[in-house]
Structure 1
Amino acid sequence: MKKTFVQAAVAAASILAFAGTAQACSTLIVGKAVSATGNIIVAHNEDNGGRLFNLQHYVPPAKHKKGEMIKFEPKAAAIPQVEETLGFYWTETLVPDGASFADGFFNDAGVVIATNWCGEIFDADRMEVKDGGIGYGIRRLVAERAHSAAEAVKIATELLHEYGYFHDGRTYTFVDANEAWQLAIHQGDSWAAHRIQDDEVVYIPNVFMMDKVDLRDHENWRVEPKQVERADKDGRHDPKDPIFNWRKIVAPESIRAERWNANRNVIAWKYLTGIEMNDPEKFPYSVKLDHKLGVKEAMELLRQHESYIGEEQALYHSASEGICRTTSHDAIVYNLTSDPTLTEAWKTLGRPCQSVFVPIYPLAGPAAGTSFVDAATATKEHFAGTPGMFDFRAEFTPHSVFSAGTNAIDYLRGGEIAHRTELIHAEEAKFLAARSAVTKEAAALKGEARTKFLHDYNQKAYDEVLELMKAENARLMPMQVKILADVVKADSDDPVAFALLGSKDHEVKGANIKATRAGMSANQLNSTRKFTNFAPAQTVEFKDVNGDGFEDVVFTFKSKDLAKGAVPGALMDLWLYTQVNGHRVTGFDVVPVETQTVKAAESRSGKHLL
C-alpha cells in the first residue's frame, strides 16, 4: 500500500494513546566488564500519569495460524503474525487511553525490552507511516520474536522500514546476557542503533543521548541511510564528517536543556562518576568507570532525587524532577544470566524511593495478586479503555496496598520518609544476601521442578513484603475514612461528604478545614503537582456518624472537584488529606464515579468500604 505523510492533525490524534505516559522514564545499562555480578545489569524506572494499574503477567509461547494478523492501537497498522511466538514476562501499564509506549518485557530467550520517550524533535511534520504506522507493536513483537538483542534491533528496524513509527521519538533498550543494544527512533523510518560495549555504562532520561555515531563502524553503529542523506541535505551534518551527532541532528538544544531532562542527567552522572556536570551539551552518552556497579547501586540510582526535594511542599515529591519523581510508579532491575530461567530481577510495586525491590525470577511467573486478569484478557483490554478495568479492587494489592502506602507517605512526610528508607533497606539486605543461594539451588533443578521452585520463591518473597506493607499501612492510616455518598458525579457541583471517624485512641476535634483536600491518589493525579489542585473542603461538621459514641468530623467537597482524573463508570479510591491538631492524617474510601452519560455498572452501584 502506498505510504502517506501524516500531518499535524493526524499525528495529534495518534498521540492520544501516548498522552501522559512514559514522560520521565530512566534507564541504566551496566556492561558486564564493569558489573559487580559479572553480568549485564539493566535498571529502569517507568513513569506515567493518570489512573494507572501496573500488572504483571507471564505470556506463554504460542502457535498462530498462517495468515493471522495482529493489531494493537485502533489506528495502527495490522501486522502479519509469525507462526510461533516466544513466551515472555510482561510488566503492563494499564491506563484508560491505552499505553503505547510504557510496558516492559523479558522473553524466554532472555531479551529485555525497556524504553524512554525522546520527543519534541525536528521534522515532526514529516512523519511517514504506512496504514497508520507502528507504535506499541515494536515492543510487543520484539518480545514475541527476538532470540537476542541484535535480532531485536533487526526485527524493530524491519518493522520501521515497513510501517514507519507513528510517534515522534523514543529510545529502545534491547539487552540479553551477551550484549546490549540501544535503538533510537526519530520518526517514520529514521533511526540509529548502538551496541553498548562491555566496559560502558549508559544512562538515559527522556532525551536522545547518542552523540558520536561513527558512520564507519558498522559493527557497533547502524544508521538508517536516508536519515543521513536528509541531514546532509538540510545542513545539519557535514557529508565529509564520519561522526554523526545524532542528538543534535534530530532534536533541538532546548529539549536537552529542559530541567526535567537536565536535572536527571546531573544527578545520574554525579552518582555514577562523582563529577557534577551541568552543561546539557556535554552530558555523556556513556562513560567508562574505574569502579564496578552492582544490583544495589542500580537500585539506588533509580531512587535518586535533587537535594531540595520536599522542602515546603504539601506532597513530598511534588517538586521533584529527579530520577525518582511524582510520576515514578514502577522500577525494575535485571541481573542477566546465560540461562534466562535463572535471570534475577528486582521489582518495586510503587515509587522506588518508598518501595521495596521485591526479588523475582521473571520466567517462573509472577506472584498471585499482581494481576486481576489473565494475560490474554490483558492483551485484549490494553487499548480498550473499558471503565470496569479501572475499578478499585482490594485483592489487587499492587494498588490497594503498595501504591496506597507510597501515597500516604508522600502526604504524611516528616519522619516517615526516613523510617521507610530504613525499612526497605533492611528488607532488601535480607533478599540480597540470600539471592545467590536461591539461584544456585534452582540451577540444580530441571524443567518443571525448577519453574515450580522459582515460582514458589516469587510468591513467598511477594507475600513477605505484602504483609510488611499491610502492617505499615495500618500504622500510617489508623483512622478510617468513610464517604457518605452512593456515587460521585464528575459533572455535578453536588456536595459529597467525607467522614474521618474518631475513636477512643484518635480524637478529631482539632481537624483543620483550611488544610483539608480530597480527590484521587496523588500518585495518580500526578500531572497535578500543586496540592491546592485537589478539591478544597467546603464545610466542616463534628458529629457521631457511625453511632459508636465517639465524635467524627465530616467535610463536604464539590463532586466534580473530587472526580478530577477519575474514570467515569469505575469504582474509584478517593482520598482525604487533612490535619488534626497539626498532625497530618490521610486515608481513603471507595465509591463509583459517574457522569450523566456514563453510569457505573448496576452490579457495582453499592458502597464498597474497606
Structure 2
Amino acid sequence: MTPRSLFALLALLSSTDACTMYGVSRTASADGSTMVSHSDDGAGDSDSRLSYVPPARHKPGSMRDIYPTIDEYPKFIGDAFGKTFLPLPGQALTKPIGQIPQVEATHGYYLNGYAIQNDCELSFGESTASAVFRADAVGTPNGTALLAIEELSHLAAERVCTAREAVQLMGDLAVQYGFFGPDGGAGEMLVVGDPDEVFVFHILSDPTARSAIWAAQRVPEGEVMVAANHFVIREVDLDDADRFLGSPHMHRVALQHGLGTGEGS
C-alpha cells in the first residue's frame, strides 16, 4: 500500500556542505501522495542516528525542556528523544537551555536532528539560508533566543497533525520565545507536508534578537518546490490566508530596514 504522505531522507554526503529540500503537492504526484524530502549534508560530521519518540501524556502544569542545537555526535544524551540517545558509560546528560509549558498529550514521531515524520503523517525537510538579523541561544554569551529550527520541528511534530497547524505553531512559538539560527546569523527553511497539503516555511531572527520573523506559503496543487540554502518565497500576501501565513509585523520590519517595497514583497 502506498502511504498518503512520503518522506525520503537522503544519504549523508561528506563532500558537500549544503542541504536541499523539496515538496510535491498531492496532484503533482503520480499516485496522489504528498512528498517531502531533505538531504541533510551539513558539514559532513552530523550525528546520523534515527530515533522514535513515543506518544505521551503529561501532567497539568508540566514544562517541556528545550535543548541546545548540536549537530555532531553525540547530538543529544538523555531520554527525552527516545532510546537511541540514552547515555553510554561516562557520558553526561545534555542540559536544557530553557523550558516552555507542556501540552496534555504529544504525538509519537521520528527524528534525526530535525523532526522527520509523526504518527499523523506530518513530515518535515530542512535547509538553512542566509539572513539579515542575528540572535544567539540562551545560555551562550549575549544569548537571548530560546528556539532553533530543530526544536521548533520537534514541537510541531509533538503537538499538531497538519502542515498548516505546524507552520502556525512554529511561527507563534518563535515570535514568543525568540529564534536563533546556526552560528546565530542564519535563517532556516522547512518544507512541511501532511497527506493533503505542503507548505514552505521561512524563519529568521528579528532585529530585537528576542523574537522572530516568519512566513509560510502553500505549495499550489499540481506544483512542486525545491530550495537549496536560499529563501524561495518572494511575495507574501497575508490577506490571502489560504496561501500565506506569517508574522504580522514582517512588512513593517522589512520597510524599516529597506528590505521590501510595501507591495507584498
Q: TM-score, normalised by structure 1?
A: 0.32
> Counterpart in 2 of 1:26?
20
Displacement of 1:80 in angstroms is: 1.7
Cα distance in 2, alignment partners of residues 170 and 75 from structure 1: 22
SS of alignment partner, residue 65 of structure 1: coil
Displacement of 1:220 in angstroms is: 0.7
> Counterpart in 2 of 1:351?
none
Shift of the 79–25 alpha-carbon distance from structure 1 to 2, 3 Å rule, reads: same
Residues 77 and 132, structure 1, Cα contact 8 Å, conserved in 2: no
The answer to whether the aligner puts 1:86 opposite 2:110 as a matched pair is: no
> Counterpart in 1 of 2:59?
65
SS of alignment partner, residue 144 of structure 1: helix
Question: What aligned pairs does 1:163-242 form with structure 2 within 5 A after superposition?
Answer: 163-167=177-181, 168-187=186-205, 188-239=211-262, 241=263
Displacement of 1:189 in angstroms is: 1.4
Cα RMSD of the aligned pairs, angstroms, is 2.6
Shift of the 49–236 alpha-carbon distance from structure 1 to 2, 3 Å rule, reads: closer
Residues 33 and 199, structure 1, Cα contact 8 Å, conserved in 2: yes
Residues 24 and 34, structure 2, Cα contact 8 Å, conserved in 1: yes
SS of alignment partner, residue 78 of structure 1: strand
Match of 1:157 among 157, 168, 171: 171
Residues 135 and 179, structure 2, Cα contact 8 Å, conserved in 1: no
Cα distance in 2, alignment partners of residues 215 and 162 from structure 1: 19
Shift of the 29–55 alpha-carbon distance from structure 1 to 2, 3 Å rule, reads: same
Q: TM-score, normalised by structure 2?
A: 0.71
The answer to whether the aligner puts 1:44 opposite 2:38 as a matched pair is: yes
> Counterpart in 1 of 2:133?
123
> Counterpart in 1 of 2:90?
none
Residues 88 and 143, structure 1, Cα contact 8 Å, conserved in 2: yes
Show CA shifts across 1:159-182 (max 9, x none): 112101022300112110010112
> Counterpart in 2 of 1:112?
123
SS of alignment partner, residue 225 of structure 1: coil
> Counterpart in 2 of 1:77?
98
The answer to whether the aligner puts 1:133 opposite 2:127 as a matched pair is: no
Show CA shifts across 1:520-575 (max 9, x none): xxxxxxxxxxxxxxxxxxxxxxxxxxxxxxxxxxxxxxxxxxxxxxxxxxxxxxxx
Q: Bigger relative contact order, structure 1 or 2, given CA contacts below 8 A and separation 6+?
A: 2
Shift of the 85–127 alpha-carbon distance from structure 1 to 2, 3 Å rule, reads: closer
Residues 23 and 206, structure 1, Cα contact 8 Å, conserved in 2: no
Show CA shifts across 1:411-432 (max 9, x none): xxxxxxxxxxxxxxxxxxxxxx
Amino acid at match of 1:85: T
Show CA shifts across 1:492-529 (max 9, x none): xxxxxxxxxxxxxxxxxxxxxxxxxxxxxxxxxxxxxx
Cα distance in 2, alignment partners of residues 205 and 113 from structure 1: 15
Cα distance in 1, alignment partners of residues 18 and 189 from structure 2: 13
Unaligned stretches of 5+ in structure 2?
1-13, 69-94, 206-210
Shift of the 23–189 alpha-carbon distance from structure 1 to 2, 3 Å rule, reads: farther
Residues 23 and 117, structure 1, Cα contact 8 Å, conserved in 2: no
Shift of the 52–201 alpha-carbon distance from structure 1 to 2, 3 Å rule, reads: closer
Residues 152 and 170, structure 2, Cα contact 8 Å, conserved in 1: yes
Cα distance in 1, alignment partners of residues 38 and 133 from structure 2: 28
Cα distance in 1, alignment partners of residues 46 and 62 from structure 2: 31
Residues 181 and 194, structure 1, Cα contact 8 Å, conserved in 2: yes
Shift of the 179–61 alpha-carbon distance from structure 1 to 2, 3 Å rule, reads: same
Show CA shifts across 1:103-125 (max 9, x none): 24211111002211112x22336
Amino acid at match of 1:81: Q
Identity %: 28
Cα distance in 2, alignment partners of residues 207 and 238 from structure 1: 20
More helix by share: 1
Question: What aligned pairs does 1:334-483 form with structure 2 within 5 A after superposition?
Answer: none
Q: Could you say which structure has the larger radius of gyration? A: 1
Unaligned stretches of 5+ in structure 1?
1-19, 93-101, 245-610
Amino acid at match of 1:28: Y
Displacement of 1:23 in angstroms is: 4.8
Shift of the 23–81 alpha-carbon distance from structure 1 to 2, 3 Å rule, reads: farther
Displacement of 1:51 in angstroms is: 4.2
Residues 36 and 124, structure 2, Cα contact 8 Å, conserved in 1: no
Amino acid at match of 2:125: A
Displacement of 1:203 in angstroms is: 0.3
Residues 55 and 108, structure 2, Cα contact 8 Å, conserved in 1: yes
Show CA shifts across 1:298-332 (max 9, x none): xxxxxxxxxxxxxxxxxxxxxxxxxxxxxxxxxxx
Shift of the 55–171 alpha-carbon distance from structure 1 to 2, 3 Å rule, reads: same
